[in-house]
């Protein structure tokens, strides 16, 4: 399966959903053909995945346009578009889903952006537009990777829980990508 992941943040950028998207790309790339379209310059690479980065150091209209074009090019050859929430991705993702007729799955991985979308007319309209184009909207976020700290016992139980939550999440996503539910 060919999957395009669109995200406003990707490591080395900080903040949600950057670490989630990197882990997702890594795990999906084990079985699927994955392309990550993100804002940024030099993303942390993941074995087996392709990356398209759109420079953020341009005025907003220009970077939105470039992102939309890049996302369109990647998505027209894909089976599914998986987009993180946030206006800078929701708007291009909604447009691209409309133009390419490819299924859009919207993931609410950034609660701050979600709250922002509730507060302003423009952001709410963009969110409603992307939401309306989405085949499915999901909110599940698997556990974050536990830290290994010196002077502390390795958190084996937390690592097991982390792995389980990711396995469940990937299984659910594969169901959605394949069957739409």
Q: By CB under 8 A, tell whether 151 contacts another protein.
A: yes
CA 165, 168, 173 angle in degrees (round to 5)? 125
- Give the C-alpha distances (Å, rounded to integers) separating 135 from 40, 73, 92, 101: 27, 20, 16, 11
Q: Measured from the CB of residue 29, what is the shortest distance to another protein in angstroms?
A: 16
153 near another protein, judged by CB under 8 A: no
115, 118, 150, 156: which one binds another protein (CB under 8 A): 150
Q: Which pair of tokens denotes residue 139?
A: 């909110």
122 binds another protein (CB under 8 A): no
Interface pattern 37-76 for another protein (x via CB under 8 A):
--xxxx-x-----------xxxxx--x-------------
CA distances from 107 to 6, 41, 146 (A): 10, 23, 22
Rule CB under 8 A: say whether 79 interacts with another protein: no
């Amino acid at each position: 399966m060919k999957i395009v992941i669109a995200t406003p943040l990707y490591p080395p950028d900080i903040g949600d959903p950057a670490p989630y998207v990197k882990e997702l790309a890594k795990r999906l790339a084990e079985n699927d053909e994955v392309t990550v379209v993100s804002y940024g310059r030099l993303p942390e690479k993941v074995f087996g995945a392709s990356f398209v980065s759109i420079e953020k150091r341009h005025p907003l209209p220009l970077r939105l346009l470039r992102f939309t074009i890049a996302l369109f090019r990647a998505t027209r050859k894909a089976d599914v578009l998986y987009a993180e929430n946030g206006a800078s991705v929701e708007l291009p993702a909604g447009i691209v889903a409309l133009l390419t007729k490819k299924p859009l799955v919207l993931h609410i991985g950034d609660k701050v952006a979600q709250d922002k979308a509730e507060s302003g007319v423009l952001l709410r309209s963009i969110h409603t537009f992307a939401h309306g184009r989405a085949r499915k909207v999901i909110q599940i976020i698997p556990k974050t990777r536990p830290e290994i700290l010196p002077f502390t016992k390795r958190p084996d139980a937390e690592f097991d829980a982390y792995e389980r939550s990711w396995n469940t999440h990937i299984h659910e996503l594969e169901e959605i990508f394949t069957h739409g539910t």
